[in-house]
Amino acid sequence: MRFLYKYAKVQTMSDNWILIVPKLPEQVPSPENAQAALEFFKELAPGADEIEIVQSEHVQFFDCGTNLETISCPRCSAHIELDWWGAAMSSDYDESEGFRLSEFQLPCCSTFASLDALVYEFHQVFGRFALSAMNPNLGLLSDDTIRSFETTLACDISVVYQHI
Ligand SMILES: [Zn+2]
């Protein structure tokens, strides 16, 4: 079952993005580190359509597009219904503050968890900063490459593979 969170229109062509996002949603690397990581990404994926820095004042959602298959509970691993998740996403989002990542009581086992603590397959994350590469044609990043990004950005990162 596929759920299209915000891509309701039918796509005639598909594109892929790789997003590099700090693990801590509020974290924004220094401009120097961000620029160095951008240059590293450009060397890594010279054929990419576009590689850019995405930065915002408030926490936003970096989704995996149509790669999303399941959402589950971090405690009991129960499947979380998309209707529940969509309502929680709307409730958590504030026009002036972005995503607040408040804790919600989950419908499965009543544990409390914020939306960034849920288990998304494929991975998707929340943050204020991302390096975004359109059609980088790299496949999955190796552990070495991920470590290089972490060293350059001076923080732990998550990788989002977005397909639209
Ligand atoms: Zn649960």
Q: What is the pLDDT of residues 82-101, one digit of tens each?
A: 999 999 999 999 999 999 99
φ, ψ for residue 114, nearest 5 deg: -85, 165
Per-residue pLDDT tens over the stretch 30-49? 999 999 999 999 999 999 99
Q: Averaged over 132-136, what is the pLDDT?
A: 97
Q: Are strands 125-134 and 16-22 parallel, antiparallel or unpaired?
A: antiparallel
**What is this structure's pTM?**
0.89
Rounded to the nearest angstrom, the distance between the alpha carbon of 130 and the centre of ligand 1 is: 30
Burial label for 77, CB within 10 Å (0-12, 13-18, 19+), is exposed
pLDDT for 34:
98
Q: For a pLDDT cut of 90, what percent of the chain falls above it?
A: 91
Could you tell me the residue ranges of all domains in the chain? 15-68+126-164, 70-121
Rounded to the nearest angstrom, the distance between the alpha carbon of 65 and the centre of ligand 1 is: 24
What is the band of 13 on the pLDDT scale with cuts at 50, 70, 90? confident
What's the chain's average pLDDT? 93
d(CA 159, CA 131): 10
pLDDT for 86:
97
Using alpha carbons only, what angle is made at residue 36 by residues 33 and 38, rounded to the nearest 5 degrees?
Answer: 110
Rounded to the nearest angstrom, the distance between the alpha carbon of 70 and the centre of ligand 1 is: 14
d(CA 121, CA 158): 13
Which token pair is 65? 């597009």
pLDDT at 131 over 80: yes
Amino acid at 20: I
Q: Averaged over 111-126, what is the pLDDT?
A: 97
d(CA 14, CA 118): 27
CATH code for residues 15-68+126-164: 3.30.70
pLDDT for 91:
97
User: Per DSSP, which regions of the chain are E strands?
Assistant: 16-22, 50-62, 70-72, 93-94, 98-99, 103-105, 112-114, 119-121, 125-134, 157-163
Rounded to the nearest angstrom, the distance between the alpha carbon of 89 and the centre of ligand 1 is: 17
